[in-house]
Amino acid sequence: MIHRQEDNYRVMLVAQSLRVGGAEIMVENLAYALRRQGCVVSIVVLQAGETLITKRLVKNGISISVLGKRKGIDVSVIGRLSRAMVNFAPDVVHSNLPVLQYVVPAAKIAGVKNLVHTVHNMADKETESKLKRLVNKFCYRNGLVTPVALSCANKQSVIDLYNLDETDVMVVSNGIDLSAFQPKRDYRIVGKAHLCHIGRFEEAKNHLALIAAAVRLKADGVDFVFDLYGVGSLKDDIQEAVTRNDLTGEFVFHGLTDNIPAALAGADLFVFPSLYEGMPMVLVEAMASGLPIVVSPVGGVPDMLTNGKDSLYCDLESGTLANCIEQILDDSKMRESLGIAARERAAAFSSDAMAASYLEVYRRGGNRSCL
Distance from the first to the final alpha carbon of the chain: 30
The C-alpha angle with vertex 215 and arms to 213 and 217, in degrees rounded to 5, equals 65
Q: What is the pLDDT of residues 90-144, one digit of tens each?
A: 999 999 999 999 999 999 999 999 999 999 999 999 999 999 999 999 999 999 9
DSSP 142-169: TTSSEEEESSHHHHHHHHHHHT--GGG-
Q: Is 46 exposed, middle or buried (0-12, 13-18, 19+ CB in 10 A)?
A: buried
Q: Which residues contact 325 (CB under 8 A, 6 or more apart)?
A: 195, 213, 217, 222, 224, 269, 271, 294
Q: What is the pLDDT of residues 287-341, one digit of tens each?
A: 999 999 999 999 889 999 999 999 999 998 888 999 999 999 999 999 999 999 9
Distances (CA, A) of 29 to 54, 57, 268: 12, 10, 26
The pLDDT of residue 20 is 81
Q: Whole-angstrom Cα distance, residue 351 to residue 56?
A: 16
User: Are 305 and 345 a contacting pair, CB within 8 Å?
Assistant: yes
Q: What is the pLDDT of residues 137-186, one digit of tens each?
A: 999 999 999 999 999 999 999 999 999 999 999 999 999 999 999 999 99
Q: Whole-angstrom Cα distance, residue 92 to residue 361?
A: 10
The pLDDT of residue 4 is 43
Strands (DSSP E) found in the chain: 10-15, 40-45, 63-66, 92-96, 115-119, 146-149, 170-171, 193-198, 224-229, 251-255, 269-272, 293-295, 312-313
> Dihedral angle at the C-alpha atoms of 79, 82, 84, 90, nearest 10 degrees?
170
The answer to whether residue 264 scores a pLDDT higher than 70 is yes
Q: Whole-angstrom Cα distance, residue 361 to residue 357?
A: 6
pTM value is: 0.85
What does the pLDDT average to over 229-249?
Answer: 97
Q: Whole-angstrom Cα distance, residue 285 to residue 363?
A: 29
Q: Is 166 exposed, middle or buried (0-12, 13-18, 19+ CB in 10 A)?
A: exposed
